[in-house]
Amino acid sequence: MTLSDEQLSTARRLLQHPDPTDLAVRLRRARQLLVQSGAAAEAIEQLGLESAALALGRAFTGAGLTVAAQRCRELASAWAPLADSNDGAADLNALNAWVYPRSLRRYQLLVLEGRPFQVALGDTTYGVQGCMADADRNHLLLERSSDGSLWWWSSGECADGYRLEAGALQPDPAAGLPSSEGRWGQPPLVRSGNSNFAHFLWNELDPLLRLRAENRRLDVVQDHNTVLELGTLAGITPQPAAQLAVRPSVRLGTTLVSAQARQAVLQGLETQDSLPPRASSRAQPLLLLGVRGAGRRELRNEVPYMIELIHALARHFHNPLILLDGFTYEHNNRHHREAQQRARACSARIADITDACPQAQLESLSGLDFAPWVQRSAGVRFYVTHEGTMQHKVGWLRPKIPGLCLVGWALPTPLRLPRGTATNAKAPAAWQPCPSSWSSRSPGRPTNPPAKIATRPFPSQTSSRPLRSA
């Protein structure tokens, strides 16, 4: 570490010391060190932003505003130097820090920019020689400083934003990870396009949009086009999958459904073919009921539950239009056998419900493509649906609509639950609001619907009269 680096590091410690005692003295000393260090104006500005964010975070913590305090710490991590140690190697926390709030980890940006860097794992230092992204993870190629041996270091999967963990390294060459791929040389590719639209929206899209907003041009290999063709976005150049064998690649992670991501998907769907408008004589839909259908994570008394709910709504409201939602085709799976089976299972169960409610004004959405589904579901005021991907279509694309999530009694969790709540109801209620930049984290209150199904209100900032039977 040079004298300039030592002075800058000392100034950082002085500025970020949590004790308010002798604050003026520390500030004067830090200012002197910064002048003496000859540091670039950009480095001094980043130090100021980092220190200010940490100070604001401590103030929020003292006021009990924990979410705001965490956001300040995330911002401070983004402005912090990558390495502040004698050997110049970054630690795990620095590499995993978010560049933007809950979006784009710092190691992913370094890979994207093609910048070699070092990482300290325990007492050992490694130089990062490249990166290769497969369908699920990022794999960093490391060179151990002590002997020059090569190792692969794999990230977590999409749900945690491809976070790096201090796990076991695999010696090169490892099974399935050819050492010829991923090395620095040509400009790195971004690999994106999860096969599940919800993970694409939640875990991949936001970093691409933020980098585009900074006028960066991105070469992207899109594995699956579920709800948005990335090549239609300005600044993104589609690349063939064959390029992955000759260029470094990286998956960019996030754990946030941002407003920008939501808007990009909805705007893209608006350009797709849709259905004719609903007849003007028909009322606007009041409620959307999501029907899971037979199969994995099935709600076993779903049909009688929905029938009873429809009858209650018909008694309480004057002939309401109720949408029965089922399986929605993504852009790339209409001809997939598994998708067709899911659509048939949902449609068959919706038919059973419709036959039992001949007087109700019902409309099935099952089997539609995403663009027609968005059009037909417009105007819904409330929803009751399964807590999985079916809910994400409404809750993540239109987060201001309040609703209830149905949770089965299977999949037990060790969490302690309020009496009368299904064994796995608390976990979805805890994380459902988290992916959205709009949703609140108010806990809601569990209720007791028919046996083997429990509901939990989806937290929302939109006030609404609760639906209740007459």
| Integer CA distances (angstroms), 223 to 133, 177, 228, 268, in order | 11, 18, 12, 18
Q: Which of 412, 423, 431, 422 is nearest to 455 (CA)?
A: 422
pLDDT for residue 426: 58
Identify the band that residue 16 occupies on the pLDDT scale cut at 50, 70 and 90: confident
Entry pTM = 0.76
pLDDT tops 90 at residue 373: yes
Residue identified by tokens 């470094």 is 248
Residue 335 DSSP SS3: coil
Listed range (43-57, 77-91, 363-377) with the worst mean pLDDT: 77-91
The token pair that represents 440 in the structure block: 């609140």
The set of long-range contacts for 280-284, using a CB threshold of 8 Å and a minimum separation of 24, is 282/321, 282/361, 283/319, 283/320, 283/321, 283/361, 284/321, 284/379
Quickly list H helices, 16-65: 23-37, 41-62
E strands, 326-371, in order: 361-364
Residue 257 contacts by C-beta under 8 Å, 6 or more apart in sequence? Answer: 201, 202, 206, 396, 399, 435, 436, 437
Which residues make beta-bridge pairs with 437? none
d(CA 290, CA 307): 12
Question: Is residue 445 helix, strand or coil?
Answer: coil
**Per-residue pLDDT at 429:** 58
What's the token pair of residue 206?
């936001």
Upstream peptide bond of 188 is cis (omega within 30 degrees of 0): no
Q: What is the pLDDT of residue 448?
A: 30
Higher pLDDT, 320 or 70: 320
CATH architecture under which domain 285-458 falls: 3-Layer(aba) Sandwich (3.40)
Q: Is the pLDDT at 298 greater than 70, yes or no?
A: yes
Whether pLDDT at 278 is above 90: no
Extents of the domains making up the chain: 1-81, 285-458
> What distances in angstroms separate CA 71 from CA 18, 45, 288, one per listed residue?
18, 19, 34
Residue type, 374: V
Q: In this predicted model, what pLDDT tens digit does every residue of 164-194 receive, in sequence order?
A: 998 778 887 654 454 556 677 789 999 999 9
Q: What is the pLDDT of residue 33?
A: 83
CA 341 to chain centre: 28
Q: Which residue has the higher pLDDT, 454 or 295?
A: 295
pLDDT of 431 strictly over 90: no
Q: What is the pLDDT of residue 297?
A: 75
